Amino acid sequence: MLATVRLHNPRPEDRAGVHGPIEIELPSFLGMHDVMTNTDAAVSLKGVGKSFGAVRAVDGVDLDIRPGEFFSMLGPSGSGKTTVLRLIAGFDEPSEGRVLLSGQDVTRLAPFDRDVNTVFQDYALFPHLSVRQNVEYGLRVKRVPKAERRERAERALATVRLEGLADRRPAALSGGQRQRVALARALVNRPSVLLLDEPLGALDLKLRLEMQLELKQIQREARITFVFVTHDQDEALTMSDRIAVFNAGRIEQVGTPAEVYERPATPFVAGFVGTANLLAGDAAAAVLGTAGRHAVRPERIRLLAPDDPVAPDEVAAPGRIADIVYAGAQTRFLVDLEAGGRFTAVRHSRDEEREFGSGSGVVLAWRRTHTIALNDD
Amino acid sequence: MHRSPVRRLAGALHRRPGLRLSALLSAPMAWLVLAYLGSLGVLLMSAFWTTNDFTSQVEYVWNTDNFASVISDPVYRTVALRTLGIAVGVTVVDAGLALPMAFYMARVARPGSRRLLLVAVTAPLWAGYLVKAYAWWVMLSHGGVLDWLGGTPGFGVPAVVITLSYLWLPYMVLPLYAAFAALPDSLLTASADLGARPWRTFRSVILPLAKPALLAGSIFTFSLSLGDYLTVQIVGGTTQMLGNVIASDVTLNLPMAAAVSCVPVLLIVGYLLAVRRTGALENL
């Protein structure tokens, strides 16, 4: 008996000749289940843990990253996200669990035998090689003929807009340019998965915002699975298809940026991704009428004078302004609630709205649907 | 306001950076010019003098006979080539031994054993030169340790290469150790990430980055071997190196000794120029 499997090939250069999915007939003894895992996840972690001595860096992580996805691993430093990246790349071996790349178990495979490439946080460019030689390194190791090597390196350098600098040494480049070389050096190998370890961390803000958009565009065009490690929630929200939020070696939540931001599963996620006002215990009971942990985003809150009307679908919480922080495009109001606790409300800096002074009494109002119920830790 | 003379002097020097620099450098510069380059100059000058064959007295007659005989006399040429061969051999042996040793010490060994190994490598430097040379004489002699282990090369050129390699090994290990220790981990990780197996990483990343240190170490092993004349007397059997020729000429024919000693000086200058061409010295 034969089973027909539709394979999706994410590599653009191979798509030139073949339109649509490739159909391959497989004998049934291979087992449909194995084949399905092949097409399911570019990267799959199954119960992965990693201990360094007594330190538990990664604790029981299960994760499936889809082919062609821009996947971010977000968390504070020490949350285990970089360790997970190193486990995928093969720089470290997990203490327990399995790592699969396109369904193939690579847990015990050395980095040079895995079809992944990494953009390192410090770029790790070879200082004794020119930009071109750096980019060609992986191809040279794999004995790609010289002409093809040249051509692919040229194209990779063009992708990151560094055509003119091929003969320079890394030392003669700026930080942003080095970052691009590191990206080209990884992309030129056409890995099935590209791992990026806080690649924008060393760039200044303006350059970082530029590179965010550019990276996203490169990823869309190259159709390579990106696994992007960052501690910057803005970066993760801007660029990702999905985000895994890490805390203390565990994944707190996996979801799209909107899911993670609008429906954070835990207080940690609510606090780490964006700003959240937390309501719990007596304060929650007083304001919302129910106990348990809840969160409200600052930009959902309307700032009202005590005698202003509150809509019927809104929750109202009276308080007193403790501090006003002017931040250019918006102004942050820190409000001490009568029910207890301090809330942050944000207002765009506009003329027509009435001014509030520090110490004046206000009412915070937001729609009931904007109250986020959190799981307990 | 009263200021002490020292403060006034300091103030004056602060305002004249040129004066400050010359005050700082005058003593070492005097040493370099007078004692070091001066004696080299006298050496070069005396090579153009001659010796009275009967009295062995130096006669200050300018001529180039000494250089002519250094170049034309086959004995000098043989000795010079042998010395060069020994110096190259010692350098190659030391590089071959020091590369894995230094790599292990810098990147594989745990911090505790790393310190121990560093002490082990440097400790022989504290022992006397003659003690170590005679230790090798004992080991190389018939009935010695090497003989008992399976065979000794006997006293001759191989014994000289072995002994000199032992003597100068630390000068090769230490710069290589420093270079390997300074190598960022991420470069090795990146190489593996790009598909390179360990041997490939060693050839394409580690070795090129360690090249300046390798050349620095080779300058030590090469020039120290070129100038050596004691080891060859102890373990060389009848072998002669340039140093022996110079040493035996010094008492009888000083101008001739001076002319011969120009040969290793020229060899070392030539080697330094060759090293400089590689650009490695700029990275030191």
CB contact under 8 A, B205 and A126: yes
pLDDT digits (tens, 9 = 90+) for A105-132: 999 999 999 999 999 999 999 999 999 9
Note the pLDDT of residue A5.
Answer: 46
Asked if residue B68 is part of any domain, the answer here is no
* Residue B195 to chain A, least CA–CA distance (Å): 4
- Residue A35 pLDDT greater than 70, yes or no: no
Is residue B22 located within the same domain as residue B138? no
Answer yes or no: are the C-beta atoms of A121 and A195 closer than 8 Å: no
Answer yes or no: are the C-beta atoms of A96 and A48 closer than 8 Å: yes
Asked if residue B146 is part of any domain, the answer here is yes
Answer yes or no: are the C-beta atoms of B228 and B211 closer than 8 Å: no
Task: Compute the C-alpha angle A342/A348/A350, nearest 5°.
Answer: 125
**Among the partner residues B184, B194, B204, nearest to A117 by beta-carbon distance:** B194
* A49 three-state secondary structure: strand
Mutation to test the A interface, candidates B191, B193, B200, B207, most A Cβ within 10 Å: B193
CB proximity A118 to B under 8 Å: yes
Per-residue pLDDT of chain B (284 residues; tens, 9 = 90+): 677 888 988 888 888 888 888 888 888 888 888 888 888 888 888 888 888 777 777 888 888 888 888 888 898 889 999 999 999 999 999 999 999 999 999 999 998 999 999 999 988 888 888 999 999 999 888 888 888 888 778 888 999 999 999 999 999 999 999 999 999 999 999 999 999 999 999 999 999 999 999 999 999 999 999 989 899 999 888 888 988 888 888 888 888 888 998 889 899 999 999 888 877 666 54
CB proximity A128 to B under 8 Å: yes
Nearest to A186 by CA among A209, A210, A160, A212: A160
Asked if residue B53 is part of any domain, the answer here is no
CB contact under 8 A, B191 and A137: yes
Neighbours of A205 (CB within 10 A): 8
Q: Which residue has the tokens 């051999």?
A: B89
Q: pTM (2 decimals)?
A: 0.77
Note the pLDDT of residue B126.
Answer: 87
What is the ipTM metric for this complex? 0.77
Q: Give, in order, the Cα–Cα distances in Å from B235 to each of A71, B143, B169, B177.
A: 69, 15, 18, 30
Asked if residue B100 is part of any domain, the answer here is yes
Asked if residue B148 is part of any domain, the answer here is yes
Asked if residue B196 is part of any domain, the answer here is yes
pLDDT digits (tens, 9 = 90+) for B247-259: 888 888 888 888 9
* A366 three-state secondary structure: strand
Contact residues, chain A, for B195 at CB < 8 Å = 112, 138, 141-142, 189
Is residue B30 located within the same domain as residue B128? no
Is residue B33 located within the same domain as residue B134? no
CB proximity A180 to B under 8 Å: no
Residue A256 sits at φ, ψ, to 5 deg, of -70, 160
Note the pLDDT of residue B206.
Answer: 93
Note the pLDDT of residue A21.
Answer: 45
Is residue B31 located within the same domain as residue B139? no
CB proximity A58 to B under 8 Å: no
Is residue B115 located within the same domain as residue B22? no
pLDDT digits (tens, 9 = 90+) for A299-358: 899 988 888 888 889 999 999 999 998 888 888 899 999 988 899 998 887 655 667 888
CB contact under 8 A, B200 and A124: no
Is residue B262 located within the same domain as residue B191? yes
Is residue B92 located within the same domain as residue B35? no
Asked if residue B66 is part of any domain, the answer here is no
Mean predicted lDDT score pLDDT of chain A:
86
Asked if residue B153 is part of any domain, the answer here is yes
pLDDT band at A2 (very low <50, low <70, confident <90, very high): very low
pLDDT digits (tens, 9 = 90+) for B27-51: 888 888 888 888 888 888 888 888 8
pLDDT band at A30 (very low <50, low <70, confident <90, very high): very low
* Residue B272 to chain A, least CA–CA distance (Å): 21
Note the pLDDT of residue B58.
Answer: 80
Is residue B29 located within the same domain as residue B119? no
Q: Which residue has the tokens 């649907």?
A: A369
Tell me the C-alpha distance between A81 and A215, whole Å.
20
Q: Which domain holds residue B143?
A: 73-283
Q: What is the CATH number of the domain that holds B79?
A: 1.10.3720.10
8-state DSSP, B185: H
- Residue A363 pLDDT greater than 70, yes or no: yes
Note the pLDDT of residue A354.
Answer: 65
- Residue A294 pLDDT greater than 50, yes or no: yes
Per-residue burial over B132-142, b = 16 or more CB atoms within 10 Å of its CB, e = otherwise = bbebbbebbbe
Answer yes or no: are the C-beta atoms of A91 and A110 closer than 8 Å: no
Contact residues, chain A, for B212 at CB < 8 Å = none
CB contact under 8 A, B194 and A126: no
pLDDT digits (tens, 9 = 90+) for A67-117: 999 999 999 998 999 999 999 999 999 999 999 999 999 999 999 999 999
**Among the partner residues B189, B194, B208, nearest to A141 by beta-carbon distance:** B194
To which H or E segment does residue A365 belong? strand A361-367
Is residue B167 located within the same domain as residue B264? yes
Is residue B106 located within the same domain as residue B23? no
- Residue A168 pLDDT greater than 50, yes or no: yes
Instruction: Flag the least confident range among A33-37, A76-80, A248-252.
Output: A33-37
**Among the partner residues B197, B205, B208, nearest to A112 by beta-carbon distance:** B197
Task: Compute the C-alpha angle A8/A9/A15, nearest 5°.
Answer: 120
A314-327: strand order across its sheet: A302-304, A361-367, A314-327, A330-337, A342-348
CB contact under 8 A, A141 and B186: no
To which H or E segment does residue A283 belong? helix A281-288
> Helix axis angle, B254-277 relative to B242-252, nearest 10°?
150
**Among the partner residues B184, B186, B192, nearest to A112 by beta-carbon distance:** B192
Answer yes or no: are the C-beta atoms of B21 and B226 closer than 8 Å: no
Q: Give, in order, the Cα–Cα distances in Å from A104 to each of A31, A45, A109.
A: 14, 11, 10
Is residue B101 located within the same domain as residue B33? no
**Among the partner residues B189, B200, B204, nearest to A91 by beta-carbon distance:** B189
Is residue B42 located within the same domain as residue B77? no
Note the pLDDT of residue A31.
Answer: 41
Higher pLDDT residue, A75 or A286?
A75
Neighbours of B120 (CB within 10 A): 13
Tell me the C-alpha distance between A118 and A228, whole Å.
10
Q: Which residue has the tokens 């390194």?
A: A137
Q: For residue B142, what are its two tokens? A: 């018939």
What total number of domains does chain B contain? 2
CB proximity A189 to B under 8 Å: yes
